[in-house]
Chain A
Amino acid sequence: MFWTVTKSLLSGLGTTFEIFILTLLFALPLGLLVGFCSMSKWKPLKYLTEVLVWIVRGTPLMLQLIIIFYGPGLWLGHNIWNGGEKGRITATVVAFVINYACYFSVIFRGGIEGVPVGQREAGQVLGMTKSQIFFKVTLLQMIKRVVPPMSNEVITLVKDTAIARIIAAYELTFAGYSFMKSAGITWPLFYTGVFYLIFVGILTLLFHFIERKLDYFR
């Protein structure tokens, strides 16, 4: 039994990990883009972006996922996510990317605006180009500011992947839960928790390492 459960949970973990990685992969650059839009000097773009971020951060991710997964089918008359497990994961990733990009954008914006203008001006009077200022002066200071809030979000993301269960994507929590339903046993639920703890534990160590690496300056 233990082995059967482990195998199922590992398969669920695979899906969880897939959602996690794909979300990060797309939400990080998209978040940077959204962040830049929200700082745009062109007011319409700035306000539009701010409203979008407000809506996305102001409503439950679970609600967003339900709308994204079921909405197109009801509006268009056919399901764009083509039924199977793959479609469910894709829909999940799309919802997560939009949601997390908005959260990340706020963090990035804070990081960029947190670097004093004096840093950029010091670079300018030293004859540096815009890109030299960005890459040689601002970027690392921005990263340093962004890492602690980012580590919180990334750890939250690990646990948020369980939300995919609402559209019946077979991720880790669903895998553990299914044994309770089918065999009436609860220990797999705790075992599932251990999987999350290990996952989050590794990420915590990783972020500690990065923070320590950036500790040499203030």
Chain B
Amino acid sequence: MAILEVNHIEKHFGNTEVLQDVSFSLEEGKALAIIGSSGSGKTTLLRCLNFLEVPDGGTISVKGEVLFDAARANKGRDAELRKKRLHFGMVFQAFHLFPQYTALQNVTLAKELLAKEQPDYKSRKNEILAEINEQGKDLLLQMGLEDRMEHYPHQLSGGQQQRVAIARALALKPDILCFDEPTSALDPELTGEVLRVIRELAEQKTTMIIVTHEMAFARDVADQIIFMDGGVIVEQGDARQVIEAPREERTRQFLTRYTQG
């Protein structure tokens, strides 16, 4: 069964239709890449999944549980919304690390705050915090940042910052991890290190949705690809097929523009 099911999502800002009838599903452990030119609604789609935007129509279900249904658009209490959000993780194009915290603190902060809600927090506080700290270190180690844990964001390169941001998102063990153009804000020589860790995550069967302009990367790392244009899904299918033998003319045109530079 699909871990994520997105059905008929609609979103408009004023009179602009930004997403129209967007439906797709994703299997557990698979990676989905979303490609498409700028303004096609990719970011908005990820923001809807993370409840940063409220869709005007459609449903979003994770593991069979309906998290969002526009028909029953109860705005939801803050606490409920927070729980729903935790099914998803988000890595932003511009990192958005917290500047006043070290790399390690960035990774552990949210988890520490969540732990306070555990019933046994008071009695096991030190133990719990030590665990969270260990987990944070492990994640940064996995990101190749073992010697950067005590650095503040401004002391890190863009590639390092984005890897911290990935660790931060992973710390809450989301069911589905979303990346919004994770390398677009990076100098070309720094994209490789970020793409490498995402590739490793794919190899470890992390369920992911990756918005990217790196076509070769999408083809090699993703299982599926969705091509969006003007707020609609024009084509979706097996990654290799969409890139190498697109069925739709618009996909073909988009890809030619990209491969020609």
Contacts and interface: CB of A to CB of B under 8 A. Distances in A.
A116 interface: yes
Contacts of A119: 96, 98
Interface residues of A, number: 22
B92 A140 contact: no
Interface in B87-146: 88-90, 92, 94, 96-100, 109-110, 113-114
Interface in A115-153: 116, 118-119, 121-130, 132, 136-137, 140-141, 144
B196 interface: no
Interface of B is mostly: mixed
A122 B96 contact: yes
Interface string B142-166: 0000000000111000000000000
A212 interface: no
Contact of A127 (B82, B152, B154): B82
A126 to B, nearest CB: 4
Interface residues of B, number: 29
B86 interface: yes
Contacts of B113: 128-129, 132, 136
Contact of A140 (B100, B110, B154): B100
27 contacts: A118-B96, A119-B96, A121-B52, A121-B92, A122-B90, A122-B92, A122-B96, A122-B98, A123-B110, A124-B52, A125-B85, A125-B89, A126-B110, A126-B169, A126-B172, A127-B82, A127-B86, A129-B78, A129-B113, A136-B113, A140-B100, A141-B100, A216-B152, A217-B99, A217-B100, A217-B152, A218-B154
Interface of B: 50-52, 78-79, 82-83, 85-86, 88-90, 92, 94, 96-100, 109-110, 113-114, 152-154, 168-169, 172
Interface of A: 116, 118-119, 121-130, 132, 136-137, 140-141, 144, 216-218
